[in-house]
Structures are given as C-alpha cells and as structure tokens.
Structure 1
Amino acid sequence: MTSAVVPEHPWLLPGALVVPTARSRAHPRRTTRDWIVDSFAFLLSLSWVLYSTADALTPHPTLATRLPYGWMIVADALLGLVCCGLLWFRRRWPLGLAVASLPLTAFSLAAAIPLLIFYFTVVVHRRTAVALAISAAGLVTNFAFGYLRPDPDMSYWAVTVWGVVIAGTVLAWGMFVRARRQLVVSLRERAERAETEQQLRVAQARQLERTRIAREMHDVLAHRISLLSLHAGALEFRPDAPAEEVAKAAGVIRGSAHAALQDLREVIGVLRAETADEEDPQRPQPTLGDLPALIEESRAAGVRVNASDLVAARASVPAAVGRSAYRIVQEGLTNARKHAPGAVVTVNLAGGPSDGLTVEIRNRWPVGGVNAPELPGAGTGLVGITERVTLAGGRLEHGRDDRGDFRLAAWLPWPA
C-alpha cells in the first residue's frame, strides 16, 4: 500500500498540524514557532560549522602527510556556511535541496548537520519511496566519506558504520514524525466529519420537531375554524334568533377567531427558518386530562356528544399516550362537524396499564352520503393521526362499519 503524503508542514519538529491551502503551499508563511525552529536549526548548524572547522584546523600528525587539508578545510567551511543559509529555504524546496546537496555528503564534514536537516525534511514531507531513494543514494556517498575524510581516532569501517547508524536514525525519526502527523490529520478529519454529521442530525431533528409541532397546530387550527364555521352557519340559518343567542354566538365566533389567529401565528413562527436556532418556548401540549374541556367546547358549539370514560389509573397515563388520544378525539370531532353536521358523536375511552388505551369516535353516516364540507381542509388529518399512532406502536382503523356508522378507532400501547 502506498503511504499517503503528509501535506507540507511549516515546522520541523512534531506539533500542532495545520493543513495549508494551495496558495499557502506555494508561498508558505512562517509563524512564530516556525521562526523559532528555523533559528534554532540555523544556529545549531552554524555552531557545528565553526566547531568542525576549528577541530579540522588542529594539527593531526598522522594525517598531515596524507591529504592537503589546507584548501579542503576552507572549502568545506564555505560549503557548510552556504548550507546553513539554505536552511531558510528548505520548507519550499526540501527535495531539490536534498538532491543538490547530496554530493556534499561524500566529503563535507562541516555541512553534516544542515545536510541531515535537509534529509529529515524530505523524509517527513515526501513519500516513503522518495525518502528511501535519497537514503540509498546517501549510503553510496557514505562509503566514499571514510576515504576522503578519514578520522584520526576511528577506522574506515567504524566511520562508515556510524554514518549508516546516523542516517538510519534520522530516517526512523522522520518516518515516525510523518506517521504521527498523518494520524493527527486523520483524527482531525474524522472529528470534523463527526461534527458535521452531528450538526446535520441536529438540523434534521429540529426540522422534524418543527414539522411535528406545525402538524399538531394544524389540527388545533382546524378544530378552531370548524367551531367558528359551525356558529357562523347557525347565525346564517337563524337570522331571527333572540338577541341573547346572537350575542352568545358572536362571542364564541370572536373567541374562536382570536384563538385561530394565535394558532396561525404559532404555525408561521414554527415554520419560519430564521427562528430554527432560537425557537420560542411552546405552550404545554394537551393530555388526557384536557379531553373533558375539548368535549365541552364541542357541545357549546352545538355538537351532540356522548362521552364514555372507562380508563383506569388515569393519573399514570403516559404523556405521549394522552397527547395522542387527545389528538385522535379532536380529529374525530372535527371530521364529524365537517362531514356529518347534526349527527350524534359518541366518544368512548377504555383501557389501563398493560392493556393499552382504546379510543373510539363514532357518528351516524349522513343521509345522502358524506356532505362536502363548507370549510375546505387539507385532507391530511387522518394521515397525520395514522402516522402518530403508528409511531407510537399502536393501531388505527377508520371508515364505515357494518352498522353504517363512521368509526374512528385506535389502540395505543400503555406500558404497565
């Protein structure tokens, strides 16, 4: 498997990793840490040039007659100084500098430290194949170094072995640094990807929640407007009604219209994308305990409702189950007012822990078939109720039964 290439890094030593852009790779910018590292590398290399030159100028009787050290020491010192200056450009052209300075490894002792830094930079920032090729070429020149620059205290083979050990150490260190940086890049990408996925999940959850709230508010709004339509229809068919009844109906119409307007504002507020991150606190959701008020509201609007409540342990009804039961009854009453005006609606509730909650709304099928509702609707009320019941793990049935009645029945699980 071919190892990945580590992006050009502005630092020599391991540390925080910055993945540069194309522009920054072409013209890298040095940070404060870059300047510190480069200055340290330059001063270390310069110190080595001065030390090795001074040591070479010290007379060695065993070598005085073997090599013309005078000119070689001066040339080596100058080459070492040039390599020290090139250290400031190693970030931009690491491979080029390493290849150009490769012949110097055959005889230069003063440039040893900057040459090792060039080699280390190539190992860190280039592919393994390139690093191994440079290493192989360096081993070849290492065999010539012992002949051209013999050590007075060590044999040729000892000098050669030490050169191989030093080159292998730099190679191992550079590959470790490169592997560590690759791991950091991989972990950072994984963390960013996980954060992006988490943000996407949060956005989806918010969207689903806003849709759910809007659907519930749609049910409430349809209920309000159906009441308003019913009272307005009564006034239309009984223009000679007593003033007291007209005033009472007008008050109900006004209250229903005001409530419908508030519900409509809430729906628009929930669906407004700009408020996705700062949603207003929602009003308390209805529970099973709010059913009597819902039924009384329908009775006040003129709907004949017969209710039967045989639910045991009402206080222990889960909130989600109670809210679903409320929405089912609300949808059943709304459909009865819209499609079967004047019909008697029967609401039956029964059940208990471990048995589940059964909700049934029944009304007579209107004579002549289902009337076209005076109040247009979206036609998605039963669809929303079916989805709600399914998500709760229950069952829903609706339609005309054997007795000719329209029946909406649901069973909701109620854990013990």
Structure 2
Amino acid sequence: MGLLLIAACASLAAWLWLTLAQGMFWRTDVRLPPRSAPARWPSVAIVVPARDEAEVLPRSLPSLLAQEYPGAAEVVLVDDGSTDGTAALALRLAAEHPGLPLTVVSPGEPAPGWTGKLWALRRGIDHARTRRAAEPEYLLLTDADIAHAPDSLRELVCAATSARLDLVSQMARLRVASGWERLVVPAFVYFFAQLYPFRRINRPGGRTAAAAGGCVLLRTEVAVRAGVPDSIRQAVIDDVSLARAVRAAGGRIWLGLADRVESVRPYPALGDLWRMVSRSAYAQLRHRPLLLVGTVAGLALVYLVPPVALVAGLAGGRPAVALAGGLAWLLMAGTYLPMLRHYRQPAVLAPLLPFTALLYLLMTVDSAVQHYRGRGAAWKGRTYARPSDA
C-alpha cells in the first residue's frame, strides 16, 4: 500500500470521525436557548474596552446606548490609552444618541503582567461595581467593534435567567464583504467550532469551555468567585480563558451563534486577516513547539491530503487513492456548507476550504516565528512577547 493511499485513508477516517463524533460542530443551529422574561429584571453594566476605536465606534456604540432593556443598565467605555480621540467621540455619540447612561473611564497603561484588554476590563468592572450602592448583577462584556440589535441585552438576560446560566456568549456575525473576507472569515468560525464544539460547551458538567469575547454576559457573583479578570490577566486568548475560569469555579456556561450581534470591523485585505489570526494562533498552542508541529501535520493531513490524493489518484490511474481523497474532500465541503449558508455565501466556496486551511497553516507558522523573534502577540502598538493563558 503506497504512502499516498495510507494518507488518503487516514484523512478519510479523520473526516468520518469529525463529522460523526466531534459534537456535530458543523451544525449552525445553536442559538440562544428557550427563554422567558424574568419576574424581576436584574441590573446590568455594559463594559466596553476601547483602544483607538474611532473608526468603528459610530457604528457600534449607538447600538448599545439604544438597548431596550426594562431594568437598570449603563454603559462603561474604558478608553485604553487611545490616541485617535476615542473618548471624546464616545461622549459626543452619547449626546447625539440619548439612551442608556454612558461613563468613559481612562485607567492609564496596564499594570505589569496584564494584557491591555483585560486591564481595561478590570478597570471598567471595578468602576461599575463601586459607583453605585448595589453592584450590577450582570456584566455584559462586549468589544468596541460589536453592534447589537436593540433587544440584544434583553434576550441575553432572558436566556441567562431562564436557563440558570452564569455565562452566556454569542459568536458575533463577522463582516463578510471583500473577497478575502468571504474566503477566510466563515472558515475562521468553522475552525473555532471544530476546536470547541458548541454542544459540548453547553453540556452541563462538560469539560470543553470557550466563549466569544465580543459578546459575553457574565453573572457578577460568579465573576468574583472565579477571580476574573485577575486570574486570567496575561491571557491573549481571553475569551477561552474566561470560560475556563468560570467553569472551574462551578459556573454554567453557554456559547452559540448570533443572528443580530455583528462585528463592524473591516478586514478588507489578506494582510488584515493575517494579522488577526497570527497574533494569537501560537498562543492557542500554548507556545509549545511540539504542538505546533502536530498542528501543522494535522492540518496537512486533514485538509491538504484530500485534494492532492484525488488529483494524483485520477492522474496516476489509482482509483483507491482518488476515491479516498474524493470522499474526504466531499465530507470536508459538506460540513462547511452550513457555515457558508450562515454567512450567506455561495456554496461554490466550499471546495476551496483546503486553500483557506493552507492560509491558516501559514498564519500559524508565522505566529510562532513572530513569537520567537520577540514580537509575540501584537495589537495596536502593544506587543505581548510571551503571554500565558489560564
């Protein structure tokens, strides 16, 4: 039996396992659980870390100020050392779009050992918990590039109170407009769901934990019990670390796809998307070279071998190789179709997933290269050379 046939059969076996036994990761029907209005609406503080976000703030902040929430709620925007007038713009937007009260906090540079976002979250949470006689019962942690439908907060709270959840997170619909965004963005969410199947995350007592950092509703009492964000202060992949900390503290977590929570940040060029992925890819592998080698080999086997086997098998008159490669490629494309439909993209993109996976493989290698060059995870002028994840 030739090596290519062995690799093609191994790839087919991997795709059979992924399709049937990996928590149905490919399904896109995980939405907010059944919910009803609570007898009493809990108080909520919406905390928004923002660093040089003047470009996207006009499309996101008004959506938070316009939340139709029956209970007490406020917005705390944490200006994380912006140089583009983010703080002044936020105050101007609040004057132009009256709604929930807005406070802008400027905490200064992060303390040693903290990433910028988590330091901003800590200062925002501290402000929200101490400015009133009674601290907020829930915290909505949302990024500055995330726009919410008017009923977003209300539906998140209904889900949390109805299902007795301590953390409710929604994967915001990312922007898909340019050609590169169409090729790369749906695959980003697909790969994330493959690593962290939503159904396993949402299973009570399950071991898999993850969240989507753009939209996280967190019960304050559990945040205190889990010691967050202090306990994860160095985490680059802060959303996964947050979910793990909450689950470790006995909290119940839930993650699903959002219909009306959207990212407005554009990634028009491949370089923009490349930086988004590579800045944290090696941190996902805990900065371990052996995990990097295994990941590269795994990506090659699972995503690159099927088209190579199909083409080589057909060209070389080796039907067994072509059949194994073709079936694996078919399963790959078939499991990708639901995500493409979620992002309203044409099915013709499904067979191109091996090419997109190759891009992600190169981004992951580049992330490791940048790490060992001392550049680490870089974001808006800050570099975290050797971050650690909780």
Is the TM-score greater than 0.5? no
TM-score by length of 1: 0.18
TM-score by length of 2: 0.19
The structure whose residues are more often helix, as a share, is 1
- Larger radius of gyration between Structure 1 and Structure 2: 1
